[in-house]
Structure 1
Amino acid sequence: MALAKLGVVVLDCPDPRALAGFYAEVLGGAVEGDGDWIDLKVPGGQALAFQRASGFVAPRWPAPDDSQQFHLDLVVEDLDAAEKGVLELGAKPLDAEDRSRGWRVYADPAGHPFCLCAC
């Protein structure tokens, strides 16, 4: 028997509304709340939350001396189309060398790493 159930994944960032808006464009869903805490209710999926962190420092990737802390794997039907979309929304490529793999690594506008993964 589990001791707990996952409630929400929370991303620290300097601007919660802006980062929630980025992920709403990528994943769909509704952005809710104001101020230092914003929720993204994703249809049929796990909710995400975004919390203002005034001293936020983005993780570095790849950095063998520093942890990336966590990353999101986002499953997509078409890697090229999804890549075009996230780049237009402000994502930055982190790992552009190997285009033959079934995943690609990016940073969201606040610097959190995430992967687009072919289904």
Structure 2
Amino acid sequence: MSTVRLGTVALDTPDPRGLAAFYGALLGWEVEDSSDDEWVTLRGEGPGGGRLSFQLAADHVPPTWPSGPVPQQAHVDLYVSGYAEAEAQVLALGGRLLEGDAGHPTWRVYADPSGHPFCLCLEG
């Protein structure tokens, strides 16, 4: 069976560094050195640690809460040891492929049964 683990949760924002600063201060997490102006990742160490990323979306429209014309949106990256078994599992569970590895050899984009996008990303 293919190994699947949570990689990061990525939030769209017009200001990745600003939003990372907010959550970094809130959670006590540090910005990873590999971050740039279009993709910023926070990493927490120890118990309760993890990763949270912020992706540039210049035309991002904040969701209306709890309901309204703009639903909440986010996507999850799941790290896998290989695509074949993981993709078969996604499809068997009702997911669908949105974008294969054309142009992106290390990840593929899927939709869950409700239509929310997520990525399977190769570890390594």
- TM value normalised by structure 1: 0.52
1:34 to 1:64, Cα distance in 2 relative to 1, 3 A:
closer
Q: Note the C-alpha offset of 1:2.
A: 6.2
Q: Please say if residues 12 and 52 of structure 1, whose CA atoms lie closer than 8 Å, have aligned partners that are also in contact.
A: yes
Corresponding residue to 2:38 among 20, 27, 36: 36
Q: Please say if residues 41 and 48 of structure 1, whose CA atoms lie closer than 8 Å, have aligned partners that are also in contact.
A: yes
Runs of 4+ deviating beyond 3 Å: none
**Which AA in structure 2 matches 1:4?**
V
Instruction: Give me the whole-angstrom Cα distance separating, in 1, the residues matched to 2:60 and 2:68.
Output: 20
CA RMSD of aligned residues (A): 1.9
Deviations 1:58-116 (A, max 9, x none): 0110215543236xxxxxxxxxxxxxxxxxxxxxxxxxxxxxxxxxxxxxxxxxxxxxx
Instruction: Give me the whole-angstrom Cα distance separating, in 1, the residues matched to 2:24 and 2:39.
Output: 15
Q: Which has the larger radius of gyration?
A: 2
Instruction: Give me the whole-angstrom Cα distance separating, in 2, the residues matched to 1:2 and 1:65.
Output: 38
Q: 2:6 is paired with a residue of what secondary structure?
A: coil
| Partner of residue 8, structure 1 | 8
Instruction: Give me the whole-angstrom Cα distance separating, in 2, the residues matched to 1:67 and 1:2.
Output: 32
In the alignment, does 2:51 pair up with 1:51?
Answer: no
Q: Which runs of 5+ in 2 are unaligned?
A: 75-124
Q: Percent of pairs identical after alignment?
A: 47
**Which AA in structure 1 matches 2:51?**
A
User: For this pair of structures, how many residues does the alignment match?
Assistant: 70
Q: Which runs of 5+ in 1 are unaligned?
A: 71-119
Instruction: Give me the whole-angstrom Cα distance separating, in 1, the residues matched to 2:70 and 2:58.
Output: 20
Instruction: Give me the whole-angstrom Cα distance separating, in 1, the residues matched to 2:62 and 2:70.
Output: 11
Q: 1:23 is paired with a residue of what secondary structure?
A: helix
| Partner of residue 17, structure 1 | 17
Q: Please say if residues 24 and 30 of structure 1, whose CA atoms lie closer than 8 Å, have aligned partners that are also in contact.
A: yes
Q: Which has the higher strand share?
A: 2
Instruction: Give me the whole-angstrom Cα distance separating, in 2, the residues matched to 1:15 and 1:2.
Output: 35
Q: 1:49 is paired with a residue of what secondary structure?
A: strand
